[in-house]
Amino acid sequence: MGYPFPSEAWLLALHQTLNRDQQYAQVARGWEGDILCLIEAADGPGWLAAFYLDLWHGACRGVRAYAPGTEELPAAKFTLRAPLPNFYKVISGELDPMQAMMTRRLKVEGNMAYMLRNVPTVLDFVRCCRAVEIEPKLAF
Amino acid sequence: MKRFLAIHTVRNVYLTQDEWVEDWRGLRHRSRQTPGCPVWLTSYYAAIQGKLYCEWEAESEDDIRRCFTQRELDMAPFESIQEIVRMDATWLDE
């Protein structure tokens, strides 16, 4: 079953996927840090959706989706910010996450040293994102 | 041009994305202005082991060493630079 992206349904499916995935539990067992994903409009200011994920020791303790217009977003250890096409390309497998970070197609606010030391966790998190089917597919 | 594999031990990691991207971009640009014009082709990062494996095209090992600032060498000193030859395993499928 597929979920529209970005949507709360997709985020809830990712929450389930992360908590059911034994490989993620193992690889991310040392990870401590919540993530706020800000999906920006492709053209112009503002954001289309914001996803908050509380990731802790190989589990996802909670998620929350925020609609545009929300005044206060939570402060997270990491904020990932990108226009919708770039986010979509990363989670659909078209764009490598490391390449996206290195070229700033995916902007990262937070301790980069922690992120780089935990590349296997980052890659496995993206693998779980890719396991959640998106429907309808988007074309950019 | 010869090909080299430079192996770095990563001692310190960049604190911000901007610092990382700007420094790596600077290295790539700097290499083009270094005598011999060595070319940094690609890198593989082993995060758990803290190693960085970088493929270069250059006339000599010294040309590669000259591209780096002292700060970069402090962050990720060379463990070795070895001349290598590329062998494409996909040809075995033919």
Instruction: Note the pLDDT tens digit of each residue in A19-35.
Output: 999 999 999 999 999 99
Q: Across the interface, do B47 and A108 touch by the CB < 8 Å criterion?
A: no
The answer to whether B63 and B35 are in contact (CB under 8 A) is: yes
Cβ pair A132, A10 in contact under 8 A: yes
The pLDDT value recorded for residue A86 is 95
pLDDT tens-digit map of A79-118:
999 999 999 999 999 999 999 999 999 999 999 999 999 9
A2 occurs within a structural domain = no
CATH number, domain of A111, equals 3.30.1050.10
Q: Is A106 among the domain residues?
A: yes
Are residues A117 and B47, on separate chains, in Cβ contact within 8 Å? yes
Q: Which residues are CB-contacts of A54 (< 8 A; sequence separation ≥ 6)? A: A34, A60, A61, A62, A63
Q: How far apart are CA A133 and CA B56, in angstroms?
A: 39
Q: Given an 8 Å threshold on Cβ–Cβ distance, is B13 in contact with A120? A: no
ipTM for the predicted complex: 0.87
Closest CA to A65 of A107, A36, A106, A34: A36
Return the structure tokens found at A115: 């992120």
Contacts of B47 in chain A (CB under 8 A): 116-120
Show the domain range for A52: 8-131
Residue A1 has a pLDDT of 84
A19 touches A59 (CB < 8 A): yes
CB atoms within 10 A of CB A99: 11
Structural domain includes residue A17: yes
Closest-approach residue (CA) in chain A for B22: A102
The count of structural domains within chain A is 1
Is A71's pLDDT higher than 90? Answer: no
Interchain pair B45, A116: CB under 8 A: yes
Rounded Cα distance, A137 and B2, in Å: 45
Q: Which CATH architecture has domain B2-86?
A: 2-Layer Sandwich (3.30)
- Distance from the Cα of residue A5 to its chain's centroid: 12
In a domain, A123, yes or no: yes
Q: What SS3 string covers B29-87?
A: HHHHHCCCCCEEEEEEEECCCCEEEEEEEECCHHHHHCCCCHHHHHHCCEEEEEEECCC
47-76 in chain B: CB under 8 A from chain A: 47-48
